[in-house]
Every structure is written in C-alpha cells, then in structure tokens.
Homo-oligomer: A and B are copies of this chain.
Amino acid sequence: MISIMKAAILAIGSELLGPVRLDTNSLRITEALERYGVELVAKSVIGDRREALVDELRRRLAEAEVVITTGGLGPTADDLTRVAVAEALDRRLWIDEELVERIRALFARFGREMPAVNRRQAEVIEGAEILDNRRGSAPGLRLEEGGSTLFLFPGVPRELEGMIEHHLEPWLAERAAAAGRVEGIERRVLKAACLAESALEERIAPAYGRFGREWIGVLASPGEIRIQTTAHGSADERRRRLDEMQEALRELAGDVVFADREEDTLESVVGELLKRAGRTLTTAESCTGGLVAERLTRVPGSSGYFLGGVVSYSNPMKVELLGVELAVLESRGAVSEEVARAMATGVRSRYRSDYGIAITGIAGPGGGSDEKPVGTVHLAIAGPGDGDVDHRRRWFPGDRERVRRHSAQLALDMLRRRLLVELGELAAPGPEG
C-alpha cells in the first residue's frame, strides 16, 4: 500500500508502565492517521525519565515522518516532555511570557489564580509552533526536524480529542491534499456466531488467496468471531473493495454471519428479526442466570418484543413459574433435555409469547458428574407451532463465565436461525449436524 507517510506514537508517563492503565489515546490518533493514509509503524510507552525519552524521540524521528507524543506536558517536575524534546533536537527552551499570560487568563476565566508552578506550561522550544488547547492549560507544540514533524499533545483524553480535531486532522488533510491522490485506510467488520475459529478460517480461506491475507483479520471471543476487512486507496476505491470483500466473505462464511456493521450485536439482530416477524419472546434461564434477558434488554426498544423472563435458579421456581413437573425434575435432573423443553414451552405458554428460550446447564465449578460434566448445557427454543421445540445439548469448555457466555450466545443464535427460517431467508435445517 502507498501510504503518504509513516507515523509513530509515543505515550509518555510512568503511570502507563504500571499493571493497571493502558495508553488508550493511541487508538483515537490511529483512527485519524489511517483516514488520511498515514501508516502507523510503532507505538511505545516510556516513563518519566529524561534520558529514555531523549533516546526514544531521536529513534522514532529517524524512522517516521510524523511522531506524536501524548502526556508529560503538565506543570509538575515529572512532566518532562518539553525538556526531553529540546534536548533530543538540541534546541533552546525558554518560558514565553506572552504564553504565561494566556495561561493566567485561562485560569482567570474559571475564577482561579494561576498557581506559580503552571509557568512551566509556557515553556516553548526554539522553532516550535504553539498549538492552542481549548480544553486545558497545557498547550501543544509542533516542530519540524530533518523532514519529520513532531506533535506534542496533552495526555488527558478530552484535551487530546480536541487537539486531534483542531490541530492534527487539519494538518493531515492539508498534507493529504498536497500529496494528490490520497490512499487512506478503511475497515469494516462481519460478525459470526457459534463456530470454531479454525472452522471459520477454513471456510474463508479462498478469500485469503483472492484478496490477500493481510487485508482480512479474524478475532475470536467465546461464541463470537469478528472478521475484519481492510482496504486502502481513495474513498471510492476503498468502498468498492470493501463491498467486494464483504460479499465474498459473507458467501464463504455462510449463515453463521449475523451482522456486517460494528454497531450490531447478536441481541440487536435478534430484536430486529422479532420485529420484522411480528413476534414476541420470553426467556427461562437457569445456569445463565439472566444473561440472555440482560443482553436482549440492552437494546433500546426491546420492550416492544421482549415480554420478560424468569431466572429459575432453584427447582421450586422451575415448578411454580414455568410449570415444569416435579417428577420430571426428579427423574431426569434439572439439567436434562426434558426439563429444557418443559421450561421453553412453559415460559412461552404461561406468559403468552410467540417464542420461548430456555437454558439449563452446569456452569461450574461445582455440580458436575461423570454423566453430566461441568459445561453440559441443554438449550431449547419453543415456537408458535404445536410441539414446535428445537433442542440442543452441548458441552462447553472453560470456566463458569465462558460456559455462561457460550450458552447465552448459542441460545440467541438458535432463535436467530429459527426466525430466519420463519421469514423465508434461510432453509429449514435438517437433523442437528
């Protein structure tokens, strides 16, 4: 790909080298860079140590045409970005009295006197352009050095956002325009449910050959896989390319794909299908403890199709709320096909919804047996027809959280497929494969 230039991001601050905080600022910067065809080649985090900063700055300036630092512009002694940059570039550093007055005025606007220590934020470096910070007291700086451009931005996310918008993006746009044909990067996503990563990879392998392995990324989490497509070129070229890749991948991956937009989730897609089919839903959950209901109700407007649910975490509640027969619970056990089916039909008929979801299983760590090990789950979907119940038994690996997440995901996906069949957009499945 032809990028108009290479970039590096350097986050400064010892707190970012501890075991708690991550440099999230870089994501927002990367997004802006990519849009204007600038390729990020490295990002790093360095603590508040002058020598290390000087080294890192020199090195990144040698390998990238634009280097962006975040943090270390505050007024205290451990804010070393300005002095380190002056040293790395071998330039003079002084306090600009006019800038002191601007910072003083800023404090005055909030009815406060400028603390003496904030004078340090008026340090400027020989040849630097001062970049107005409309959301805080630390101005940014821009410097040119040996063909590279260095931006010094504050680390407070809200202030950084403003600096990107007011200073970085206009500069990038100008460079991109000057470069003529701009090759930006753009990404889209496909989301797939309930398939192993390796099985999905196998299905979409032909697309690697056709479009190039580096433009297709696969990212798996329990029960869900993201296929990310990337394209470069002009805005038109990118759109065309992404359309083409999405279509090919959708076809290869098949009906496991449930969404092609970042903002869609399995629960929002199921919600849309329920609305289109004019159907309502109730849930009966045991081992997932309300996770399916909680996910369904994350979606604004879900009260239009989701009537409610029952978390039947004890046998009496399965009997009283869902009408499961005590004899069945006792002979088959709470985690059984019979009970899952009875829960699904029970919740559906008692609370008069079109569909009923039921999940009963052993999430662990306790409660497993040889016959029904931890991770054993029975799922059932009762539909409008007479005796119309889909059932699955599954064993999910992993800990309590994974078993619960996998179970909720599969239940929603079973309902998604059921609704697609009802809407005539998917062929009815044969026996479970």
Q: A residues engaging B (CB < 8 A)?
A: 14-15, 17-24, 26-28, 30-31, 34, 40-47, 49, 52, 55-56, 59, 63, 76-78, 187, 213-214, 217, 219, 228, 230, 283, 285, 287-294, 296-298, 300-303, 306-314, 316-317, 320-321, 350-352, 364-366, 400-401, 404
Contact = CB atoms under 8 A, between A and B. Distances in A.
Nearest to A262: B20
A76 B308 contact: no
A376 B303 CA distance: 17
Given A21-B219, A321-B351, 16 more contacts: A15-B219, A17-B40, A19-B27, A22-B26, A41-B46, A42-B45, A42-B46, A285-B290, A289-B294, A289-B297, A297-B311, A300-B364, A307-B313, A308-B321, A316-B352, A321-B321
A215 B427 CA distance: 62
A307 B298 contact: no
A351 B320 CA distance: 8
A290 B314 contact: no
A17 B46 contact: no
A31 B17 contact: no
Contacts of A17: 30, 40-43
A285 B310 CA distance: 10
A303 B43 CA distance: 47
A383 B18 CA distance: 43
B14 A19 contact: no
**8 closest A-B pairs (Cβ-Cβ)?**
A289-B297, A290-B290, A290-B293, A44-B44, A19-B31, A308-B317, A308-B313, A290-B294
Number of copies: 2
Contacts of A77: 213
A27 B22 contact: yes
B316 A312 contact: no
A285 B297 CA distance: 11
Contact of A78 (B52, B55, B213, B296): B213
A78 B401 CA distance: 32
A400 B296 CA distance: 13
A311 B310 contact: yes
Contacts of A290: 285, 289-294, 297, 309, 311
B56 A42 contact: yes
Contact of A300 (B59, B283, B291, B365): B365
Nearest to A31: B19
5 contacts: A15-B217, A22-B23, A43-B45, A288-B297, A308-B311
A68 to B, nearest CB: 13
Contacts of A34: 18-19
